[in-house]
Amino acid sequence: MTIMIPAWENGTLKPVEKLDAHVRGLKHKAVSVFVMNRGRVLIQRRALGKYHTPGLWANTCCTHPEWDEDPTDCAVRRLDEELGIKGLYPSHRDEIEYRADVGGGLIEHEVVQVYIADAPNDLKVVPNPDEVMETRWVDFYDLTADVARHPAQYTPWLRIYLQDHTTAIFGDLLRAV
């Protein structure tokens, strides 16, 4: 199945095949979600069948919106598709642009709408095995320390978010814990 994502080519936003956008390093739209519960973050380990960064730990979910899809709707859709999470309504935190080598000659050059969702203690998580091989809840500060100690176990975008954008994404949430 060919997946088309919104990407900028020659300064114009248009639908581009997802793999082609990554091969060519085209800037494209993306969405990332962090599900939180009392200072803990739900992270996922990407399925081994993913075409880039398989087996690495990432934020709760991330994806590319469909053409003309609202980013918030996309975030809700992917929480369900990747993790079987229903009933959470993420709030927008920031827009972040980054460019990172994700291995295999592929580049992520994303303009990301970043969201946070507050989870109840009894949140049901049912990972889609085509997308996610494992999930775990981790204390935010333990996560940042582990990413610093073992960066190769984490996706480039999670490392970038935690290194360069912690205050914009998590600032007031962490003060409240």
Is residue 157 within 8 A of residue 108, CB to CB? The reply is yes
Whether 62 is catalytic: yes
Task: Give which of 53, 5, 74, 34 is closest to 173, Cα–Cα.
Answer: 34
Whether 110 is catalytic: yes
CA distance 8 to 70: 17
Q: Which amino acid is at 83?
A: L
CA distance 173 to 41: 11
Annotated catalytic residue: which of 62, 74, 82, 108?
62
Q: Residue 24 belongs to what H/E stretch? A: helix 18-24
Is residue 56 within 8 A of residue 133, CB to CB? The reply is no
Task: Give which of 129, 125, 100 is closest to 112, Cα–Cα.
Answer: 100
Q: Which amino acid is at 59?
A: N
Identify any residues that bridge with 27 across adjacent strands, giving them in sequence order.
109
Annotated catalytic residue: which of 61, 74, 82, 110?
110
Q: Which residues participate in catalysis according to the annotation? A: 62, 110
